[in-house]
């Protein structure tokens, strides 16, 4: 039966919390474990839906999992039973990353077509073109991608856009390829660096130049097992921090560092919120109304596309006119209609804001919003369309007067572990029914 959240808004969040490991890192690290016959132990793995889907993929292939109850697990893929997994019980965007590792183990691979959040077209042309250049042939079948190769070799690849997934796909394929691979205009997200750290410990030879956006990989003959701790989830940090500020709260997030959050912290300061970096974490607090600002989402190290949704809610609580320009995905503002039903004043537009341009210019995608505030939000019945938009619904409901009923909870469960229980620990009145 479909689950819902019932939230009584208006309670300031207070207390201490720890964030989980990043699901967008952990899922790729699970795929990296397929590159070796030896056991790989991952610590700080979040227990979220996307991890379950990736586990299903690995188990289909022949991996055995041992979860220890403390967010760590050992994955061992001594033998690849089959490299053809044309179907899984649910879809996400991770399975295409298994092509390289499965090709190395078996010479051919088949994975299901991708799912994931409905936030744009999300093609995989950059993955396919790059792997083609490395000697991999990929065929799109009705429900799957089939890949084969008679020898995977290094290549010099320059991406027209720094795609996270395509960069990861090339890295996972290049580590055991014959010769050297260079990725230019690579994505340099911290989750990619986490993957590189794990692969290096497994014996891979990888150079990473964040400033030049250049990754160089010298293929090796084999990789070994490893124990690796998954990087903290930046999206969880931003979600909790935004919820605290939107409710006039004061929370301390333990065991996090500011280094991967600089663009977010700068915006918090600009709108008049407070963050204090302490020895073992960061404290976030603030009182409405905030000051208006302009945000443009971009690849790392700039303001991340997965942060704009909870931040948009925060900007409904800022005095004056704020703007968000989304330059990563062409269709990521659908959720603002629901915020409008909760009392926000948000106008969506298919133009770039004055004085700015992006690759969506003239393409008639609704990729920018003007938010006028501050407005009083009130509870409503809304449905989550995807993971991060779902978080915007939750933050809005926490900040609103009265009761909200939110359905589509499976989306947020795919990206956050037990988000309701953890918000309750901060005083939120949220029930799962
Ligand atoms: N793109 C192409 N062709 C490609 C690949 C990407 O045109 O072959 C375009 C996409 O359509 C999009 C842009 O490039 O417009 C960026 O896509 P990217 O490949 O960087 O994103 P991704 O790997 O599919 C990951 C995260 C997203 C996060 C983005 C950007 C995972 C599983 N997903 O997606 O996270 O927003 O990077 O940082 O790691 C989420 O967690 O809710 C989420 C959507």
373 DSSP β-pair partners: 320
167 CB neighbour count, 10 Å cutoff: 25
Q: How far, in Å, from the CA of 301 to the mean position of ligand 1? A: 15
Which residues does ligand 1 sit against, CB inside 6 Å?
24, 93, 117, 120-127, 161, 163-166, 187, 189, 304-306, 328-329, 387-388, 415
Q: For residue 386, which atom of ligand 1 is closest to its CA? A: 42
Q: Which of 52, 126, 162, 163 should be mutated for ligand 1, with most atoms under 8 A from CB? A: 163
Distance, in Å, from the CA atom of 285 to the CA atom of 30, rounded to the nearest integer, reads 35
In the set 73, 117, 312, 358, the catalytic residue is: 117
Q: For residue 165, which atom of ligand 1 is closest to its CA? A: 23
Annotation says 312 is catalytic: no
**Cβ–Cβ < 8 Å for 300, 190:** yes
Q: How far, in Å, from the CA of 379 to the mean position of ligand 1? A: 32
Distance, in Å, from the CA atom of 73 to the CA atom of 401, rounded to the nearest integer, reads 42
Q: Give nearest CA residue, ligand 1 atom 32.
A: 24
Distance, in Å, from the CA atom of 49 to the CA atom of 89, rounded to the nearest integer, reads 12
Q: Give nearest CA residue, ligand 1 atom 35.
A: 306
Distance, in Å, from the CA atom of 128 to the CA atom of 379, rounded to the nearest integer, reads 45
Q: Is 253 helix (H, G, I), strand (E, B) or coil?
A: strand
Distance, in Å, from the CA atom of 136 to the CA atom of 144, rounded to the nearest integer, reads 16
Q: How far, in Å, from the CA of 299 to the mean position of ligand 1? A: 10
Q: How far, in Å, from the CA of 306 to the mean position of ligand 1? A: 10
pLDDT (tens place) for every residue of the chain, 433 residues total: 789 999 999 999 999 999 999 999 999 999 999 999 999 999 999 999 889 999 999 999 999 999 998 999 999 999 999 999 988 888 788 999 999 999 999 999 999 988 777 778 889 999 999 999 999 999 999 889 999 999 999 999 999 999 999 999 999 999 999 999 999 999 999 999 999 999 999 999 999 999 999 999 999 999 999 999 999 999 999 999 999 999 999 999 999 989 999 999 999 999 999 999 998 999 999 999 999 999 999 999 999 999 999 999 999 999 999 999 999 999 999 999 999 999 999 999 999 999 999 999 999 999 999 999 999 999 999 999 999 999 999 999 999 999 999 999 999 999 999 999 999 999 999 999 9
């Amino acid at each position: 039966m479909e689950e819902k959240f019932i939230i009584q808004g208006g309670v300031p969040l207070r207390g201490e919390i720890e964030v989980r490991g990043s699901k967008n890192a952990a899922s790729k690290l699970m795929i990296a474990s397929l590159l070796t016959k030896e056991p790989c132990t991952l610590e700080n793995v979040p227990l979220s839906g996307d991890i379950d889907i990736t586990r299903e993929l690995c188990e289909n292939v022949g991996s055995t999992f041992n979860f220890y109850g403390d967010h760590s697990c050992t994955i061992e893929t001594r033998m690849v039973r089959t490299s053809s997994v044309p179907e899984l019980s649910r879809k996400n965007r991770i399975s295409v990353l298994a092509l390289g590792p499965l090709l190395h183990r078996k010479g051919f691979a088949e994975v299901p077509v991708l799912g994931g959040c409905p936030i744009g077209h999300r093609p995989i042309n950059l993955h396919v073109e790059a792997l083609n250049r490395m000697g991999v042939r990929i065929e799109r079948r009705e429900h799957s991608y089939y890949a084969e190769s008679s020898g995977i070799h290094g290549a010099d690849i320059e991406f027209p856009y720094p795609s996270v997934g395509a960069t990861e796909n090339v890295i996972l394929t290049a580590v055991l390829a014959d010769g050297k691979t260079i990725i230019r205009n690579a994505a340099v997200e911290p989750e990619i660096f986490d993957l590189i750290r794990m692969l290096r410990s497994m014996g891979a030879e990888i150079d990473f130049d964040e400033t030049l956006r250049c990754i160089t990989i010298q293929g090796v003959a084999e990789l070994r097992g490893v124990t690796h701790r998954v990087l903290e989830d930046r999206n969880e940090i931003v979600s909790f921090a935004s919820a605290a500020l939107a409710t006039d709260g004061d929370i301390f997030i333990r065991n996090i560092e500011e280094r991967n959050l600089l663009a977010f912290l700068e915006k918090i300061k600009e709108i008049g919120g407070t963050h204090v970096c302490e020895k073992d974490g960061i404290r976030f607090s603030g009182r409405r109304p905030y000051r208006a600002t302009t945000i443009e989402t971009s690849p790392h190290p700039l303001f991340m596309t997965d942060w704009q949704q909870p931040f948009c809610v925060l900007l409904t609580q800022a005095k004056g006119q704020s703007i968000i320009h989304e330059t990563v995905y062409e269709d990521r503002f659908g959720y603002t209609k629901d915020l409008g039903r909760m009392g926000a004043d948000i106008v969506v537009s298919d133009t770039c804001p004055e004085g700015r341009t992006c690759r969506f210019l003239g393409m008639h995608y609704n990729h920018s919003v003007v938010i006028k505030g501050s407005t009083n939000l009130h509870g409503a019945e809304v449905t989550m369309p995807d993971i991060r938009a779902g978080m915007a619904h939750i933050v809005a409901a926490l900040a609103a007067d009265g009761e909200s009923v939110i359905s589509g909870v499976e989306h947020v469960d795919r990206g956050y572990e037990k988000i309701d229980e953890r918000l309750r620990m901060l005083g939120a009145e949220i029930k799962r029914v």
